[in-house]
Structure 1
């Protein structure tokens, strides 16, 4: 294990993560990767309704939000998390222009993404949240 991955594992160990992703293959890969880095998956939502339920009822340290969840947009989930001061990162294949207008300056990872990008983005989001 290289030092950078070790640092990522330390920073993420025990962190409670919400994954909102409608593609079962991407969701499963994200969950596996996050668990490898010591994260606790509080839920993997494939619908906006499920994501809203989890975001409202679970303790979440950070979330990964696919901008388009099936035919719906993730905007209400982003609003709920922002209201709880919970950091989140958008994942999208549509670029920054596809982000919810109210959150256009938030962190984003463009699909297809690499594991290191996701881990680095999570670490940055948690670091920024800790400073706030």
Structure 2
């Protein structure tokens, strides 16, 4: 599982909570370039993805994940209307977020056994 979040505390806490729940976590990564490199190097089954990694809303990573059919959950402070229609079926967690919500959302995503539609 890959964690892509630029807020140090949230990223660290989310990664720890996912590990505590039994996940093998790669990251967290706080920038787009490092996250894309990790996707090339490591087998990833699911991704927790922040939409804004410090430079405004970006869907570069989401586009790669969708193309590769890797399931993911957006974590964001943005409203739903910022997310392009191409990602309508992708789960979205609204910040501020509780760690148990992250863990349960990622568990649900993996339990589906297939990529989120979108």
Q: Which residue of 1 aligns with 2:92?
A: 108
Secondary structure at the counterpart of residue 22 of structure 1: coil
**Residues paired across the two proteins, number:** 116
Larger strand percent? 1
CA pair 40-111 structure 1, distance change in 2 beyond 3 A: same
Q: Write out per-residue CA displacement over residues 25-71 of structure 1, whole angstroms, 9 at most, x where no aligned residue.
A: 11111111111111111221111111111122210011000010111
Runs of 5+ in structure 2 lacking a partner? none
Counterpart CA distance in 2 for 1:27 and 1:36 is 14
Larger helix percent? 1
Q: Which residue of 1 aligns with 2:70?
A: 86
Counterpart CA distance in 1 for 2:50 and 2:87 is 13
Kept in 1: contact 2:32–2:61 (CA 8 A): yes
Whether 2:109 is the aligned partner of 1:125: answer yes
RMSD of equivalent CA atoms: 1.8
Kept in 2: contact 1:96–1:104 (CA 8 A): no
Kept in 2: contact 1:45–1:51 (CA 8 A): yes
Q: CA deviation at 1:21?
A: 0.5
Higher relative contact order (CA 8 A, sep 6+): 2
Q: CA deviation at 1:104?
A: 3.0
Q: Which residue of 2 aligns with 1:97?
A: 81
Q: Which residue of 1 aligns with 2:13?
A: 29
CA pair 98-124 structure 1, distance change in 2 beyond 3 A: same
